[in-house]
Chains A and B, each alone.
Chain A
């Protein structure tokens, strides 16, 4: 049943991504001021949303791991962190490609860019830590601690960096209460992008999470076999010793 749900999710991801691509490239009107480059926005924003959601899952999984225990939370946090990193990287790259023609530079230390970059560094450190420690109960606990600390840091980063500087366009809600998307088709395309990326993310998370679960089970199985072999060896030795007596 799990497998079937995964397949359905995969097909849904494929279909919704294709529809979104069609909408982005063929259906939605070109933005008047920025021109064709603006279309990357429908890719960029969903990437941002998915990566923030993924990092949220990392923190929640960390809390549940320390609270309830169970390798399942660690596997969830691990899978979410990897995907969050992937989509965060895509967000930074797509933003850069957009910024070059619009702002005239690949990168600028604007508040949202800086926040995203700090997030990228935070979870890069998290994944480096996992890579260095390998597997086991110890690394799970440490990863939970780092995941929680990183999540606690996010609001402080946002506030401090916003005070530092900002030029990023406020697309969804500006101070005047309007939004930069004049044509309703633009909003529909953005929503379609958000839905498609969320489904894609859910599907990828399921795949990776399932793989990590299998790996955990395999490790436990291997441990159980080694334990059983030790017991058998012990019992044989005992029988020999008893026979000799």
Chain B
């Protein structure tokens, strides 16, 4: 697992020095929320369910940007090829990339959550802590799919369009479950009220982290 920490350290160092992924993700999350607020007048569209929906829209868009950047950065100067020819296990590369995506998305999401609380007139209360399971599970599931598919689409012309086209339909079940469980948490309901939805998120994560673990080698193969 040595290589795992090396890869994570590399990506975090790169990010701290350039800030290219998280700043772009934060900016996109902000823009999405602004567009949502002006498209759906907050005087009519409000309440915990709407806030949860807005948060997840921002998360999906920021996540897609982050995923294409995470692999796109490796494409420069043939870094991805070097990564693949290194003695690292392909599965380790996948898990490391997945972990880095989760970290970046969490940063963007914390900022997005603060904005949602402000924009949708919610309270900074313990209800926000109850959001943690659904958000973490959602981010992990998204990153699991996105990391796998970003490796697939990175080398295509027009890959930046291809990635959302592939991710969004696959992510639909987790999106539904995430919005529902987050809405329940923001409404102040106990965690047990959303246990079905949390269960779907857990199943989604297990399924796609395993699939990514097994398939990344094929997805990222380079001749």
Contacts and interface: CB of A to CB of B under 8 A. Distances in A.
Interface of A: 66, 118, 121-122, 124-126, 128-129, 132-133, 137-138, 141-142, 144-146, 148-150, 152-153, 156-157, 159-161, 163-164
Interface stretch (B58-66, B78-86, B214-222): B214-222
Contact of A148 (B159, B176, B211): B211
B166 A159 contact: no
Contact of A159 (B152, B173, B180): B173
A125 B162 CA distance: 7
Nearest to B177: A160
A157 B156 contact: no
Nearest to B141: A156
A124 B169 CA distance: 10
A163 B197 contact: yes
B148 interface: yes
B218 A132 contact: no
Interface string B190-223: 0000001100100110011001000100110101
Q: Which of B159, B172, B180, B218 has the most CB of A within 10 A?
A: B172
Nearest to A114: B172
B153 interface: yes
22 contacts: A121-B172, A122-B169, A124-B165, A129-B153, A129-B166, A138-B155, A142-B152, A145-B152, A145-B218, A146-B149, A149-B145, A149-B215, A150-B170, A152-B207, A153-B173, A156-B174, A156-B204, A157-B173, A159-B203, A160-B172, A160-B176, A164-B176
Interface residues of B, number: 35
Most buried by A among B155, B158, B169: B169
Q: Which of A126, A149, A159 has the most CB of B within 10 A?
A: A149
Interface of chain A, helix or strand or loop or mixed?
Answer: helix
Contacts of A145: 148, 152, 215, 218-219
A149 to B, nearest CB: 6
B118 to A, nearest CB: 29
A138 B170 contact: no
Given A138-B223, A156-B173, 14 more contacts: A118-B172, A126-B166, A128-B165, A132-B156, A145-B152, A145-B215, A149-B215, A152-B208, A152-B211, A153-B170, A156-B200, A160-B174, A163-B176, A163-B200
A66 B211 CA distance: 13
